[in-house]
Amino acid sequence: MTEEQRQEIIRLLQQGEDISSEWARILFPPEKREYELVYHGKQREEDILADTLAVPLQPVRTFGKNGDGWHNMLVFGDNLQTMKSLLEAKKAGHLCNADGTPGVRLVYIDPPFATKQEFQGSQDQKAYQDKVAGAQFVEFLRRRLLLIRELLAADGSVYVHLDQKKAHYAKVVLDEVFGEQNFRNEIIWRNTNTHNKAETFGQIHQSLFLFTRSPRFLFQKTFRPRLRRYVEAHYRHTDEKGAKFRYSDPTGDGIRNGESGAEWEGYKPTETGRHWAIPGFIYDLVDDDISKLGVIGKLNYLRDHGLIQLPRKRGGQPQIVRPESVGDGNPMQDLWAYQPYTQGAYAGIGEAIDEDVTWATGDSEATGYPTQKPEGLLSRVIRSSSAKGDIVLDAFAGSGTTCVVAEKLGRHWIGIDCGKLAIYTIQKRMLNLRREIGNKGPALKPQPFTLYNAGLYDFSKLKDLSWEAWRFFALQLFQCRDECHRIGGIELDGYLKGASVLVFNHQKQPGVRIDEETVRSLHEALGSRVGSRLFIIAPALTFDFQQDYTDLGGVRYYALRIPYSIIHELHQREFTALKQPSDELAVNDTVEAVGFDFVRTPQLEYECGVNRREGTLLPEAFIHIKTFKSEAVVRDPMRKKGNRETLSMVMLDYNYEADIFDLDAVFYADAIGKAGWEVRFPVESVGQQIMAVFIDIYGNEARELISSGQIGTAGASAAVTSKRDNKKKAGAGL
């Protein structure tokens, strides 16, 4: 700082004036880095890693028979909290790759960027608001990248898939998180054919940034096969066996002395400013080891084995014979599925260059999930940066493209998504797999996988846990360290913020309540040896007092209740709920959920039947939602109470057969509202019974099994209109 600046700042401070932000850099110059991305709300790395809650993973159900070893994981929850839990699993040695390396070998993420920001106001206000949203997005992403870095194996890789809106900011953040030296590629993926509506050049690509955890990383080269047109144009000769070949120059640029510049078979390379240079592919063609021979020795060998063609006229240039079978094609470059009209080594007019990586999701693989990526794209990512048996993670799983491709390629996988639609889409996709990329070919039975809840728990299932499993869950839920110890003859279970924790064994003492008397007798045994705080975790109904804590003899006894307990003093942050979208565009919004909650089935009343509407040719089945109200408890500032205000979507399985919900159609609340709160669907799609899942914006479900008889379609002609009043209370959720 100059003397002048020093005096200026003293003057400002003495006059009590505000110090503008320009002074921040002068007063606190960045120490470690030459440059970094600065924005409002950027947290310290250490704080993010330390403060993120790790939420327990509650198994919901396992598909397929589960052996003792690894089983694939589909997690419903916020990915930040889930990855913190996975990090603990890594530390405990539960996440290992095929070769035993701890951690995840490959992460692919395709995070959403809130596209649906509607901001009314002047252009300036809008631009400002976009920047705020932009900064929030960058920090949202950065927090997740930090966890990903920690989860990766030492030789692991991450691919971050983004479009051009925020890719450049993300690149800077990736440089900060992984180090510029670990940046490997920016892959340009042509994701559409044309974009003619653009006012300037049509945007037809997205970027994938490839970073590795360290300079030592796993990478397997992939090759692009030569195109038929290219082979026809360049491999014009055919040998006596019918195999195609071309001639290739055995010389290189520049004059050299010694054998490399010597005359051979009457040809002097130096006369044209060149020297002998044997191309590398030759070594794959010969059976003998010719690497130790000199250049002339190699030329003689190739001539004797028919791999060099001598010119008809002495003094002309000999040519190497290069069969079409040599090499695997061209190693993949960083431009994928590009310009089909490019002329060049690997293109022919009008032919798509990448046969495996397309810009569109094929019909056989389309799930209807917005933003679904093609299997071919993920296939290349997974084949390049992981081996069979390695763990592949997608923390923004969406329709589950990464998971299904990992499954087909024999990798282990973990998929996380905070959307119920995503979870049901993946479940269905996994159970209807076909062997080939693009979801073609014979059926493929997936390896067993388990669906987990992370952050939104089903209390009814918790009650069935064994004592040990309950104790573990309870400790994890409140971020306690699992460490048994004894004080005053009392067995305690762990520590929370330095204080002891007791997990009350309600199974051993059924019917016993925790009241002031219990606390008093505990206090008698523990006394002040326990310190100033003790935490008691127990099922909510076991406590006989309502308050968060009770004080006795200088010790504060906290009640941590399951299913519901948010004690701000402990968590020091607001809990926020998982948000489910209520229209299709919102599926691509970022979601931040902090903390945990317990499933509360929404209140639901509906009627269903068949309607013949004016202007429609065929009668339609309908479900009319009369009442839908959420019972969610989590502290949500936006908490809505009005009728149907909290409906997110309705999903239908038209022909519910087994106990697996097989998603057939989704209806967003927005559209349902516009249709007079009716879900309408073709009568002919209804099987014996429909499973309808009504989801609230917090992710709670009300499930209804509706028979065709109830709707009025069973055995009836399509013209029959019936309306039944199926007044019901909702069933249990997932």
Interacting residues toward ligand SAM by CB under 6 A: 78-79, 110, 112, 369, 371-373, 396, 398-399, 401, 416-419, 422, 588, 590-592
For ligand SAM, which is the closer residue by CB, 227 or 591?
Answer: 591
CB of 400 to ligand SAM, least distance (A): 6
Residue type, 567: I
CB half-sphere exposure, 494, CA atoms < 13 A: 18
For ligand SAM, which is the closer residue by CB, 63 or 140?
Answer: 140
Largest CA distance in the chain: 112
CB half-sphere exposure, 122, CA atoms < 13 A: 3
Measure the CA–CA gap between 400 and 414, rounded to whole angstroms.
Answer: 10
Q: Chain-centre distance of CA 708, in angstroms? A: 38
Written as six digits, the tokens of 509 are 């003492």
For ligand SAM, which is the closer residue by CB, 373 or 428?
Answer: 373
Residue type, 635: R
For ligand SAM, which is the closer residue by CB, 75 or 503?
Answer: 75
Written as six digits, the tokens of 304 are 């004797």
CB of 225 to ligand SAM, least distance (A): 25
For ligand SAM, which is the closer residue by CB, 117 or 521?
Answer: 117
CB of 211 to ligand SAM, least distance (A): 18
For ligand SAM, which is the closer residue by CB, 110 or 493?
Answer: 110
CB of 605 to ligand SAM, least distance (A): 29
For ligand SAM, which is the closer residue by CB, 377 or 501?
Answer: 377
Q: Chain-centre distance of CA 314, in angstroms? A: 65
Measure the CA–CA gap between 48 and 53, rounded to whole angstroms.
Answer: 10
According to DSSP H, which parts of 432-576 are helical? 459-462, 467-477, 516-526, 568-571
For ligand SAM, which is the closer residue by CB, 79 or 582?
Answer: 79
Which residue's CB atom is positioned nearest to ligand SAM? 398
CB of 132 to ligand SAM, least distance (A): 18
DSSP lists the bridge partners of residue 50 as none
Written as six digits, the tokens of 191 are 């994701």
CB of 213 to ligand SAM, least distance (A): 22
Q: Are strands 701-707 and 689-696 parallel, antiparallel or unpaired?
A: antiparallel
For ligand SAM, which is the closer residue by CB, 502 or 586?
Answer: 586
CB of 372 to ligand SAM, least distance (A): 4
Burial of 672 (0-12, 13-18, 19+ CB in 10 A): buried
For ligand SAM, which is the closer residue by CB, 72 or 260?
Answer: 72
For ligand SAM, which is the closer residue by CB, 174 or 308?
Answer: 174
Q: What is the 3-state secondary structure (H, E, C) of 242-268?
A: CCEEEEECCEEECCCCHHHHCCECCEC
CB of 731 to ligand SAM, least distance (A): 25
DSSP state of 442: E
CB of 616 to ligand SAM, least distance (A): 33
Measure the CA–CA gap between 725 and 711, rounded to whole angstroms.
Answer: 10
CB of 184 to ligand SAM, least distance (A): 20
Locus of tokens 């006229």:
313
On whether the CB atoms of residues 80 and 420 are closer than 8 A, the answer is no
Written as six digits, the tokens of 370 are 């917005």
Measure the CA–CA gap between 596 and 593, rounded to whole angstroms.
Answer: 8
DSSP state of 561: E
Measure the CA–CA gap between 503 and 538, rounded to whole angstroms.
Answer: 6
CB of 291 to ligand SAM, least distance (A): 46
On whether the CB atoms of residues 515 and 544 are closer than 8 A, the answer is yes
Q: Chain-centre distance of CA 663, in angstroms? A: 21
For ligand SAM, which is the closer residue by CB, 417 or 678?
Answer: 417
Rg of the chain in Å (alpha carbons):
33
For ligand SAM, which is the closer residue by CB, 413 or 543?
Answer: 413
CB of 161 to ligand SAM, least distance (A): 7
Measure the CA–CA gap between 202 and 92, rounded to whole angstroms.
Answer: 49
On whether the CB atoms of residues 656 and 635 are closer than 8 A, the answer is no
CB of 157 to ligand SAM, least distance (A): 17
